């Protein structure tokens, strides 16, 4: 389904003095990935990778658009689209230069709206919808600058970067002065790190072999291919059946050998005690980390699990609702690997806040990217983090899944198990018009004859 929301026509006598946002176009885009069980895990056995997609158009002569989305896995994608459309009256007619020229103020204007805020605050469907719009604005800003988003962010001054961030609720863990100190320390070496990134790329790990619905033969084949493709870490979904997990991990370890890291992901399946017992049975496979062992809202539960399964690290974050929960997880020692998501929180600005928190606590960031377009989007945040925030690749990898990249105008480029730094202007979230049309739900041609 596609919807177009536009400004009223201008009278002929109107003399344009500013570039304005003239339309907000949305799509409910879904891909039938459940047919091959791509993306399947212990809590989500039949996902259809989906995007509540938004395009912002302006009356500028350059005809550039800003594109963003919220990732979902099927049912409810229409609800997310409706949330994005609810923002359209606030955005239409706005001065583009004013919005993009002060993205910190723009973020606060949308997130702190007194009526919208009641629906969260700062969590859930509306917060994610704001993130899609904010990301679309960053896409437009990067296109207008002629730079990829990671490079646009990395060339900002420490003061400009901190001005993007809302430090409310964070100052007991991260003050403005501390954030500035982190960024100022990263100024030295920025150019060298940027050159290294452009030459060598950014490390990746792959979840492609590990979907829970794949049979053993497919698991073994994909593990072998992952090693051949240069990946030094893979990830397997676990949590539905312990005996199956042990068997599958044994196949994976036998296939990849002792020098390839294997992480596991329970997708929130367990209670605390169950997580501790289950991980104890799997730890003999030398786990790189255990991901989402319990509810993403259970800060103290994660902390207890982390304490009791040490030295196996806990990784989490793809379902963490906002920067405040991340702050508390870091304060409580509830995670050792922080996993940002490009479309879970309110866009680029909030993810910068989370990157700064991770740098303050010395915790590596390994983004979640298991979904349509998430690899394309989140690579910009990791690359910005390396160049301008943490200054480090130690313990850091971006998740890679081999699905649906062909639908994006600037798909990720992978070589030797490493993301190659994107060079095209924008944030990487723009899809082909034909893909939007073909997989528009429920009437697109890609859904013809597909059971719903």
Active-site amino acid positions: 237, 368
Q: Are strands 65-72 and 337-338 parallel, antiparallel or unpaired?
A: unpaired
241, 270 Cβ separation under 8 angstroms: no
Residue 172 phi, psi dihedral angles, 5° rounding = -75, -15
Backbone angles phi, psi at 451, to 5 degrees: -60, 145
DSSP secondary structure of 288-346: EEEE--S-TT-HHHHHHHHHHHTTSPEEE-TT--SHHHHHHHHHHT--SEE---TTTSS
Burial of residue 16 (CB within 10 Å: 0-12, 13-18, 19+) is: exposed
Strand pairing report for 414-415 and 418-419: antiparallel
Pairing of strands 21-30, 50-58: antiparallel
- The total of other beta-carbon atoms located within 10 Å of residue 88's CB is 21
Torsion (CA) 143, 204, 201, 257 in degrees, nearest 10: -160
Q: Which residues pair with 4 in a beta bridge?
A: 25
């Amino acid at each position: 389904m596609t919807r177009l929301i536009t400004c009223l026509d201008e009278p002929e006598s109107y003399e344009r003095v500013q570039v304005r946002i003239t339309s907000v176009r949305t799509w409910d885009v879904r891909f039938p990935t459940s047919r091959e069980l791509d993306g399947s895990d212990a809590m989500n056995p039949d996902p259809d990778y989906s995007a509540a997609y938004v395009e912002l158009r302006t009356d500028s002569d350059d005809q550039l658009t800003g594109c963003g989305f919220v990732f979902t896995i099927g049912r409810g994608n229409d609800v997310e689209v409706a949330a994005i459309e609810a923002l359209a009256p606030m955005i239409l007619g706005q001065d583009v230069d004013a919005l993009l020229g002060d993205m910190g103020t723009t973020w606060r204007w949308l997130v702190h709206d007194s009526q919208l805020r009641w629906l969260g605050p700062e969590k859930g469907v509306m917060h994610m919808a704001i993130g899609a719009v904010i990301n679309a604005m960053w896409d437009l800003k990067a296109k207008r600058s002629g730079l990829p988003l990671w490079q646009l962010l990395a060339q900002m001054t420490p003061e400009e970067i901190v001005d993007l961030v809302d430090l409310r609720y964070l100052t007991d863990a991260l003050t403005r002065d501390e954030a500035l100190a982190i960024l100022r320390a990263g100024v030295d070496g920025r150019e060298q790190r940027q050159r290294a990134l452009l030459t060598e790329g950014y490390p990746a790990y792959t979840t492609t072999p590990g979907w829970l619905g794949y049979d053993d033969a497919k698991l073994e084949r994909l593990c072998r291919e992952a090693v051949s493709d240069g990946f030094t870490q893979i990830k397997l979904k676990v949590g539905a059946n312990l005996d199956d997990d042990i068997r599958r991990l044994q196949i994976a370890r036998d296939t990849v050998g002792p020098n390839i890291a294997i992480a596991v992901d329970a997708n929130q399946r367990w209670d605390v005690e169950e997580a501790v017992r289950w991980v104890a049975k799997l730890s003999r496979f030398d786990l790189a980390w255990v991901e989402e062992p319990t509810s993403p809202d259970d800060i103290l539960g994660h902390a207890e699990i982390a304490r009791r399964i040490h030295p196996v690290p806990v990784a989490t974050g793809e379902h963490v609702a906002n920067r405040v929960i991340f702050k508390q997880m870091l304060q409580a020692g509830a995670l050792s690997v922080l996993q940002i998501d490009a479309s879970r929180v309110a866009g680029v600005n909030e993810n910068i806040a989370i990157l700064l928190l991770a740098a303050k606590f010395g915790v590596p960031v390994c983004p979640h990217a298991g979904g349509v377009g998430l690899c394309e989007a989140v690579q910009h945040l990791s690359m910005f983090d390396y160049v301008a925030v943490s200054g480090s690749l130690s313990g850091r990898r971006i998740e890679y899944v081999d699905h649906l990249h062909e639908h994006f105008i600037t798909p990720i480029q992978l070589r030797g198990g490493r993301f190659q730094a994107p060079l095209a202007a924008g944030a990487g979230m723009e899809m082909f018009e034909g893909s939007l049309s073909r997989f528009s739900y429920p009437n697109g041609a890609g859904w013809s004859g597909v059971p719903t």
